Amino acid sequence: MMKRFLSLLLVAVMLLSAAGCNSRASSDKGSTPTPVGESSGQSDTDETPISKGQINFDEEPYTITVCYPVMGVASPDQELIQEKINEIAIKEINAYVQLEAIDLFSMSNTYALKASSQEKMDLIMLMPGGNYLTTFVNTNMIVPIDDLLDEWGPVIKETAGDWLPVGQFLGKQYTVPQNSTTRTMGYGFNVSVPLCEKYNIDIESIRSLEDLEAVFEIIHKNEPDITVLAPESTGGSIIGPVLGLYDTLGSRTSRMVIQEDGSLKVVLDMESPEYMEAAKRVRDWYQKGYISKDVITTQEAGSTLLEAGTCFATAIASVGASGGTIGAGVEGRHVVFESGLPLLRTADSQLFMWAVPTTCTRPEKSIQLLNLFNSSAELANLFFHGIEGMHYEINDKGAVVPFENAGWVNYWPLVGDAFKLLASKGDVKDGTVEEFRQKEAEFNKLTKISPAYGFTLDTTDIKTEIAACNAVGDEFGAAIGNGAVDPEVEIPRYVQKLYDAGVQRIIDEQQRQLEAWVALQN
Amino acid sequence: MKKKKRIIWKKYIPLYIMALPALVYVIINNYMPLYGMQLAFRELDYSKGVFSGKFVGFQNFKFLFATKDAWMMTRNTVLYNLLFIVIGTVFGVTVAILFNEIRCKIAARIYQSAILIPYFMSMVIVSYLAFAFMGGENGFINNTLLKLLGKEPISWYSEAKYWPFILLFIHTWKGIGYSVLMYTVRLLTINDEYYEAASLDGATKWQKIWHITLPFLKPALILMTILSVGRMFYSDFGLFYQIPMNSGHLYNVTTTIDVYSFRALMNLGDITMASATGVYQSAVGFVLLLGANMLVRRFSKDDSLF
């Protein structure tokens, strides 16, 4: 069956690429009477009639295809939002926008297929951008945009500000990182408030993993039917918040250690004593029955169980100022320890990144549109929240309350200046918007910045090793990370298999590139 | 002479027309993708469409052989298939003969239908049935069987050593109805007179089976086996991906070539590397098929494929 599916896929690729080439060649001549720049990213050639930063309104409006991520399929009102955006876009930059929703979970495949068939894409979001930046640059998927930003993106540069460097690779700007009001999130645990109240547990008093363990014991003794602890999502690991945050430098297996003299050293995470200790702790929880015996095979996310009241706590990797991502109707509170305090790493700022693909014939239009989104709070809010009165209302505290079953749902603030977006009720909770902003500012102050912030790993020469090590990680990661196997037996096997898969080359390469990067910074 | 040939050729035209849809299907599905094989030898470069990338030789195959994955998935695919062929045939024939001995026609029909039902079940459903038995928390085996025997519960989905048996069991359970059906059809063609004659000569039941039933089954047996050997390098994706619930700790014994290609494409999103897997599968499959055919030809020339 699978074989057949793969062959079909290949046929599809082939046919599309043949068809795509022809139609593109002919439509180019038709729709763009004044060719402005090539896909290489230079926008001012001799024939260009427009001067720096001046938009040409005499030409036929260009249609900008924007690919943005969704969970599943596009919202039913996508076309309506698109029309509203177009009303503004045609006036401001003489262009139409064509929105195209991409399922987050098949994003890499979708872009790969679209690009290989030369399908029209003008502005694409990479999410999480850190996974794609180097690969897409190395495979000529996206173009450098330094010159375009200088010419067409003054507001983009202002908004992105000090985020901009994380969108660079090998000294060139390839992507525009999308800013957000919370710099990055921390690791921690979500605990159920009703259950804590029932057993008189003061959440504020949980200050260490040992405290938390004591609470687990109480819950497990009194509520034997309740799963005490679960990972936030399926396929996730509980070990994350136990380990806390550290810089992995763009790989799954490395850990950056700051040595006493301040120099940075890359080591194999799974070999570190911290990893063994954390794995043993999780194993202990598993054996005591706090963690479900089905944890690695279950298809139900911890967040769902917490919502259903069949779980006491979840291990989360997204603790923000407003308390992590807790579903509607759940009374949960987050518990964060010192090790889980937010740590700003390159990949954290690379979560949402906009890029211009090679298939785009008018890259300057894409940048103009991005610039427009960043300068217009109206547009940014329209794209994030939808239309007021139709998709949401604003409550007396100034927060956005989305309607139930609204026809436009956007999970993340994807575009525009995040500080100009209306705050959501889910974040603001009971206070006012100002109070929330205050809280957020305080939270951002807690954020530590990794010494390697801004460093992006070039994976070109270690592609093979990374793929092989990821496969090993799939085999061991979840089982060890959720305590399903004995770490004293399995971690040495894991480490051995990683070395067999060439992890030493990854570490050496990271060390070399990191040192070169540090030297460049000084 | 010439005229005769043309007449024969003309006679076959309707047959060719009948075969046309299937031929078109085979060309589109099996021959056109051959063109895409070159992807496995190219560098991934999207700027001018994927087929414009530089030729890099066997670069893309490196990741397969960087670990022992290539060996592991080849070993799994081939050994599981061998096991399935042998066990499936033995069980299929045995059960078919047993069914044949049931004299009450209604009972035979009921049994036959019952044994066929799993064949029509989706692997996803089977995977949850299996989970109901082997689940760690509420699974039947851990909570009832092992408790009765006073044994420690086993976390089935993280212990690789049980899985060859589990997969063999599930495959046989699911497929047996179909093979029994194939053999039963053959058994029905045996004239009762043979058995009556044998009875008159004082043959025992065992002798009747050995000297009458099995020889009649031989052509069907060889056909079924060749068909299976021809598909030696394909595996039932559902069986190896859904039943173990994609549990990482079982990869060593559950990763077959199809599962690996799927995972490689999903995780890496790298078309050229995924193609490399596909090419590897085709190449080794081709060699294996030739080998199997050679063997068959040596033992029974009429039954070989070519």
Q: Is the pLDDT of residue A441 over 50?
A: yes
User: pLDDT class for B223, splitting at 50, 70, 90?
Assistant: confident
Judge whether A99 lies within some domain: yes
- At A12-24, the pLDDT tens digits run 443 333 333 333 3
A34 compared with A189, residue with greater pLDDT: A189
* Average model confidence (pLDDT) across chain A: 83
> Is the pLDDT at A37 greater than 80, yes or no?
no
Burial A191-207 (b: 16+ CB within 10 A, else e): bbeebbeeeebeeeebe
Are the C-beta atoms of residues A516 and A264 closer than 8 Å to each other?
Answer: no
Q: Indicate if the pLDDT at residue A405 is higher than 80.
A: yes
- Contact between residue A12 and residue A20 where contact means Cβ atoms under 8 Å apart: no
- Judge whether A487 lies within some domain: no
High-pLDDT (> 70) share of chain A, %: 88
- pLDDT tens for residues A345-383? 998 889 899 999 998 999 999 999 999 999 999 999 999
Task: Name, in order, each residue with C-beta under 8 angstroms of A3's C-beta and a sequence gap of 6 or more.
Answer: B234, B258, B261, B278, B281
**For residue A177, pLDDT beyond 90:** yes
Average pLDDT over residues B161-185: 92
Query: pLDDT value at position A280?
Result: 95
Q: What is the nearest CA distance from A293 to chain B, expressed in angstroms?
A: 5
Q: Could you tell me the CATH number of the domain that includes residue A367?
A: 3.40.190.10
For the cut 70, the answer to whether the pLDDT of residue B269 exceeds it is no
| Nearest-by-CA chain B residue for A293 | B136
**What pLDDT score does B306 carry?**
66
ipTM here: 0.71
- CB-side neighbour CA atoms (13 Å) of A156: 29
Q: Which of B79, B246, B121 is nearest to A471 (CA)?
A: B246
In contact, A510 and A518? CB cutoff 8 Å? no
Residue A7 has pLDDT above 60, yes or no: no
Closest partner residue to B157 (CB to CB) among A296, A470, A502 is: A296
Separation in Å, CA of B53 to nearest CA in chain A: 9
- Tell me the DSSP string of B77-131: HHHHHHHHHHHHHHHHHHHHHHHHH---HHHHHHHHHHHHGGGGS-HHHHHHHHH
**A314-323, B74-83, B260-269: which range is least confident on average?**
B260-269
> Would you tell me which residues 243-302 of chain A have a C-beta closer than 8 angstroms to some C-beta of chain B?
292-294, 296-297
Residue A489 lies in a domain: no
Q: Which domain holds residue A110?
A: 56-182+347-449
Orientation angle between helical segments A487-500 and A463-481, nearest 10 degrees? 170
pLDDT of residue A63: 94
Are B281 and B235 in contact by the 8 Å Cβ rule? The answer is: no
| Nearest-by-Cβ selection for B49 from A118, A135, A471 | A118
**Structural domains counted in chain A:** 1
The separation between the first and the last C-alpha atoms of chain A, rounded to the nearest angstrom, is 56
Q: Cβ of A133 under 8 Å from any chain B Cβ?
A: no
Residues A272-301 have a mean pLDDT of 91
* Domains defined along chain B, listed by start: 49-303 (1.10.3720.10)
Chain A residues whose CB is inside 8 A of the B66 CB are: 464-465, 467-468, 501-502
Contact A304, A288 (CB under 8 A): no
A112, part of any domain = yes
Note whether A128 contacts B: Cβ–Cβ < 8 A: no
Q: What percent of chain B stands above pLDDT 90?
A: 24
Answer whether residue A167 is part of any domain. yes
Highest mean pLDDT among A114-118, A228-232, B215-219: A228-232
A343 neighbors A451 (Cβ within 8 angstroms):
no
Residue A117 with chain B: CB contacts under 8 Å: 49
Asked if A318 and A188 touch (Cβ cutoff 8 Å), the reply is: no
Residue A333 has pLDDT above 80, yes or no: no
**Residue B245 near residue B155 (C-beta atoms within 8 A):** no
Q: Give the per-residue pLDDT at A3.
A: 43
Q: What percent of chain A has pLDDT over 90?
A: 37
CB A342 within 8 A of CB A461: no
Q: Rounded to an integer, what distance in angstroms lies between the CA atom of residue A188 and that of residue B287?
A: 54
Does residue A265 belong to any structural domain of this protein?
Answer: no
pLDDT at A44 over 50: no
Contact with chain B for residue A89, Cβ under 8 A: no
The distance of A414 to chain B (nearest Cα, Å) reads 23
Q: Cα torsion at B34, B36, B40, B41 (round to 10°)?
A: 90
Chain mean pLDDT for chain B: 84
Give the mean model confidence (pLDDT) for residues A145-167: 90
| pLDDT greater than 60 at residue A393 | yes
The partner residues of A63 in beta bridges, in order of sequence, read A96
pLDDT at position B164 over 80: yes
A267: closest CA among A291, A251, A282?
Answer: A251
Tokens representing B295? 């063997």
* pLDDT value of residue A444: 87
Residue A379's nearest CA partner among A338, A428, A413 is A413
Query: What mean pLDDT is predicted for residues A266-293?
Result: 94
CB pairs under 8 A between A and B: 152
In B, which residues are within 8 Å of A500 by CB distance?
Answer: 67-68
A194 in a domain, yes or no?
Answer: no
- CA A351/CA A370 separation, integer angstroms: 17
To test the contact with chain B by mutation, choose from A1, A2, A359 the residue with the greatest count of B C-beta atoms within 10 A, namely A2
B47 contact partners, CB below 8 Å, separation of at least 6: A39, A140, A141, A358
Distance from CA of A132 to the nearest CA of B (A): 10
- Cα–Cα distance for residue pair A324/A332, rounded to 1 Å: 9
Q: Which chain B residue is nearest to residue A356, measuring alpha carbons? A: B47
pLDDT in tens, A415-438: 988 888 888 887 777 778 888 888
Can you give the pLDDT at residue B4? 62
Which of B32, B46, B249 minimises the CB distance to A115?
A: B46
The mean per-residue pLDDT over the stretch A262-274 comes to 92
Kindly state whether residue A427 falls inside one of the protein's structural domains.
yes
A213-260, pLDDT tens digit by residue?
Answer: 999 999 999 999 899 999 988 878 899 999 999 999 888 899 999 988
Place of tokens 């575009």: A415
| A450 vs A522, residue with greater confidence | A450
Beta pairing, strands A311-319 & A227-231 = parallel
Chain B partners within 8 Å of A465 (Cβ): 66
Confidence of residue A323 (pLDDT cuts 50, 70, 90): low
Per-residue pLDDT at B225 exceeds 90: no
